[in-house]
Chains A and B, each alone.
Chain A
């Protein structure tokens, strides 16, 4: 095992972008999960399916779609490039790949939490004069928050483990877009086994920590 500066840089980069990606999807994920759990609306089942796709498709497929959307030769990519925003082969590409791949996990988890909140409680709160915002923040969220945190943890660890979409969209550029997963792949390809094992140890430890915390949150939520 070999804990060089590089190792720490890669770890820190992965954690930082992973955290940013999770914080980015959190408000959207919560809002969408609530709409799924509490409301019926036209095209709802189509949106549900689309949101679930990155979870089910091979990550490289999702990565390819993202590359096509954000690549320099597409309208979106060109528009962004003209404004000085680069996505492909850039840390922003890492962020987007992580966000897209972990989004469905977050939405599913949060949706389940909201669905488990007794709607009667929200109704009674309304009869007592509470506005929809008050009902959401004082009744729904506090009762669901453990599931939301568990979902965020799960999403975060999924983001950290992201490979297929990341390598296509952001490339494997050391020091710039190289995450833990990408670095391990790189080290294996170039024969740097000892470095690979170091990162392997770090990823296993992180994954263990996150999944355990996530499960603990869910368990303690049920005992409450």
Chain B
């Protein structure tokens, strides 16, 4: 899918050509860079004075040709920051609100309600009044509502911004599931680096309405962290793994990640949903040039440095040990250890640093 957008908005101009073979495209930038404005323009919720917006060659808006499709005809779903569920309708009525949308030939195939409810784990909420939902439940319902209307494109405006950290981590996988199960292209606006790294296949970096760069998230890391407001953020490594065995008395479980790395993490209950999603912060990993002895950390992995990015006094070191690990240390540490690409290092990670999502 190709999105072309050339639109002057308020005080700046947006000029974006994006190809969506990628399933989740993230638009990343600090607040005020026009991200919500862009989504509103694409969805047809904001009057636009000039320019063009087209999807796969179909014009949604064009001043030249005098076209301005109203929002309801664009087939674009929208999940806003604050869920915006209809407070006077039940959860079920909210979800089904857009389900009757008329068929267009290029809409995705029928989405089964039951499947959707299962994927987002909201089946039990159907008759609950909307005002009695928690923040995370509301976001999932909003997601279901948008998905069920079978949009050709799904826009998400910082959907996790209003949630606290713990909740964010729990909702993130649902977004991934929607991507995997329903195959709707998504544009995901955020200023949170972790979300980009966790979800996006492609990222557009936007500042002051201009597209600065675009590419695969991991390769864009340095540029993204260079944007203001970001450097303080926690950057997480996110892995998917299956449990191998458990040692309750010892307090650990052994798991294997998708790329075959074995890790020890805190004990996983038998009822945990598989596959496991876990994360560990880039700030929580230690590097050593020699294998440490007599150390409490349960995980000591041998790996190779694949790249080092310096930003001011910080260094982001990418180490491959089966999986790719992002490790953030000070620039002086890198100098002290004499690290460079190709260096052999040991990753030291406490079991308890891994958080299950």
Would A and B touch once assembled, by the CB under 8 A criterion? yes
Chain A interfacial positions (CB closer than 8 Å to B): 118, 120-121, 123-131, 139, 142-143, 224
- Which residue of B76, B82, B100 contacts A127 across the interface (Cβ within 8 Å)? B76
In the bound complex, do residue A126 and residue B71 qualify as a contact, i.e. CB atoms below 8 Å apart?
yes
> Does B310 have its Cβ within 8 Å of any Cβ on chain A?
no
In the bound complex, do residue B88 and residue A128 qualify as a contact, i.e. CB atoms below 8 Å apart?
no
Most buried by B among A129, A131, A139, A224: A129
Instruction: Kindly list chain B residues whose C-beta atoms are within 8 Å of the C-beta of A120.
Output: 80, 82, 84
Considering only CB atoms, which chain A residue lies closest to B81 in the complex? A120
**Complex: how many Å from CA A224 to CA B89?**
12
In the bound complex, do residue A131 and residue B71 qualify as a contact, i.e. CB atoms below 8 Å apart?
no
> Does B78 have its Cβ within 8 Å of any Cβ on chain A?
yes
In the complex, how many angstroms separate the beta carbon of B102 from the nearest chain A beta carbon?
7
- Which residue of A118, A128, A143, A224 contacts B97 across the interface (Cβ within 8 Å)? A128
Instruction: Kindly list chain A residues whose C-beta atoms are within 8 Å of the C-beta of B100.
Output: 129
For window 77-108 of chain B, which residues contact chain A by CB distance below 8 Å? 77-78, 80, 82, 84, 86-88, 97-98, 100-102
Can you spell out 10 A-B residue pairs with CB atoms less than 8 angstroms apart? A126-B45, A127-B76, A127-B77, A127-B78, A128-B72, A128-B101, A129-B72, A130-B97, A130-B98, A143-B87
Instruction: Kindly list chain B residues whose C-beta atoms are within 8 Å of the C-beta of A121.
Output: 84, 86
> Does B43 have its Cβ within 8 Å of any Cβ on chain A?
yes
In the complex, how many angstroms separate the beta carbon of B215 from the nearest chain A beta carbon?
29
In the complex, how many angstroms separate the beta carbon of B96 from the nearest chain A beta carbon?
10
Considering only CB atoms, which chain B residue lies closest to A130 in the complex? B72
The total of interchain contacts (Cβ-Cβ below 8 angstroms) comes to 57
Instruction: Kindly list chain A residues whose C-beta atoms are within 8 Å of the C-beta of B102.
Output: 129
Interface size class for chain B? 20 to 34
**Complex: how many Å from CA A121 to CA B87?**
9
Instruction: Kindly list chain B residues whose C-beta atoms are within 8 Å of the C-beta of A224.
Output: 87-88
In the complex, how many angstroms separate the beta carbon of A206 from the nearest chain B beta carbon?
31
Considering only CB atoms, which chain A residue lies closest to B151 in the complex? A127
Instruction: Kindly list chain B residues whose C-beta atoms are within 8 Å of the C-beta of A130.
Output: 72, 97-98
Instruction: Kindly list chain A residues whose C-beta atoms are within 8 Å of the C-beta of B145.
Output: 128
In the complex, how many angstroms separate the beta carbon of B53 from the nearest chain A beta carbon?
14
In the complex, how many angstroms separate the beta carbon of A127 from the nearest chain B beta carbon?
4
**Complex: how many Å from CA A151 to CA B77?**
36
A124 and B78 in contact, given A129-B72, A129-B100 (Cβ under 8 angstroms): yes
In the bound complex, do residue B86 and residue A139 qualify as a contact, i.e. CB atoms below 8 Å apart?
yes
Considering only CB atoms, which chain A residue lies closest to B131 in the complex? A224
Instruction: Kindly list chain A residues whose C-beta atoms are within 8 Å of the C-beta of B74.
Output: 127
Query: Beyond the given A124-B80, A129-B101, A143-B88, could you list 19 further A-B residue pairs with CB under 8 A, ordered by the A residue number?
Result: A118-B84, A120-B80, A120-B82, A121-B84, A121-B86, A123-B45, A123-B71, A123-B78, A127-B43, A127-B44, A127-B72, A127-B76, A127-B151, A128-B72, A129-B149, A130-B98, A131-B72, A142-B88, A224-B88
- Which residue of B72, B86, B151 contacts A126 across the interface (Cβ within 8 Å)? B72
> Does B146 have its Cβ within 8 Å of any Cβ on chain A?
yes
**Complex: how many Å from CA A120 to CA B157?**
13
Considering only CB atoms, which chain A residue lies closest to B101 in the complex? A129
**Complex: how many Å from CA A127 to CA B75?**
7
Most buried by B among A118, A120, A126: A126
Instruction: Kindly list chain B residues whose C-beta atoms are within 8 Å of the C-beta of A142.
Output: 88
In the bound complex, do residue B149 and residue A128 qualify as a contact, i.e. CB atoms below 8 Å apart?
yes
In the bound complex, do residue A127 and residue B88 qualify as a contact, i.e. CB atoms below 8 Å apart?
no
Q: Chain B, 36-70, contact with A by CB distance < 8 Å: what is the 0/1 string? A: 00000001110000000000000000000000001
**Complex: how many Å from CA A126 to CA B97?**
10
In the complex, how many angstroms separate the beta carbon of B219 from the nearest chain A beta carbon?
33
Considering only CB atoms, which chain B residue lies closest to A127 in the complex? B78
Instruction: Kindly list chain A residues whose C-beta atoms are within 8 Å of the C-beta of B86.
Output: 121, 125, 139
Considering only CB atoms, which chain B residue lies closest to A134 in the complex? B72
**Complex: how many Å from CA A121 to CA B86?**
7
In the bound complex, do residue B80 and residue A128 qualify as a contact, i.e. CB atoms below 8 Å apart?
no
In the complex, how many angstroms separate the beta carbon of B146 from the nearest chain A beta carbon?
7
In the bound complex, do residue A127 and residue B84 qualify as a contact, i.e. CB atoms below 8 Å apart?
no
In the bound complex, do residue B71 and residue A127 qualify as a contact, i.e. CB atoms below 8 Å apart?
yes
In the bound complex, do residue A126 and residue B70 qualify as a contact, i.e. CB atoms below 8 Å apart?
yes
- Which residue of B70, B84, B88, B101 contacts A124 across the interface (Cβ within 8 Å)? B84
In the complex, how many angstroms separate the beta carbon of B37 from the nearest chain A beta carbon?
13
**Complex: how many Å from CA A71 to CA B234?**
78
Instruction: Kindly list chain B residues whose C-beta atoms are within 8 Å of the C-beta of A127.
Output: 43-45, 71-72, 74, 76-78, 98, 146, 149, 151
In the complex, how many angstroms separate the beta carbon of B186 from the nearest chain A beta carbon?
14
Instruction: Kindly list chain A residues whose C-beta atoms are within 8 Å of the C-beta of B76.
Output: 127
Considering only CB atoms, which chain B residue lies closest to A145 in the complex? B88
For window 114-137 of chain B, which residues contact chain A by CB distance below 8 Å? none
**Complex: how many Å from CA A123 to CA B70?**
11
